[in-house]
Amino acid sequence: MKTVDYAALHQTVASLTEGEDDIVALMATVACEVHHSDDRFDWTGFYRVTGPDFLKIGPYQGGHGCLVIPFSRGVCGAAARTGQVQLVPDVDAFDGHIACASSTRSELVLPVYDRDGTLLGVFDIDSDQPDAFTQTDADQIAALLAAVFAR
């Protein structure tokens, strides 16, 4: 089973995104690289803030996702609403979880900010395995997102 090498992932993403400032291009590149870095990652992508208190699907890898998520619902909404990382070992135990895919068992969602501290959206990683994510995953992905979007 392939597990993420965070040093290599950070280096690859930095080299692929150097000089790029288009948000969608950056999101597409991050989603692709993170998704293919670890076998635990079943769905990997962004939900973008496109209006007051709601998110719309952005670049992603994996099966289809929900098209619109209000800040008031689900794990992605909680990350957007609170500005806090959501590390969910069992999605069925998360009050208000939105089942975009029935295979999802655990989830890691991180808010994504630009250099001015404006919320751009959230980065969502789903796993078909229960309790798939660690605090190290959360910390490393948060550092990666800051390096790409808050620079």
pLDDT per position as a tens digit, 60-78: 999 988 999 999 999 999 9
Cβ neighbors of 55 (< 8 A, separation 6 or more) are 47, 48, 49, 68, 69, 70, 71, 76, 77, 80, 121, 122
Q: How confident is the model at residue 98 (pLDDT cuts 50, 70, 90)?
A: confident
Taking CA atoms, 2 is separated from 42, 124, 127, 136, in Å, by 13, 19, 14, 16
pLDDT per position as a tens digit, 16-73: 999 999 999 999 999 999 999 999 999 999 999 999 999 999 999 999 889 999 999 9
Q: Classify 6-149 by CATH class.
A: alpha beta
Helices (H) and strands (E) in the chain, counts: 4, 6
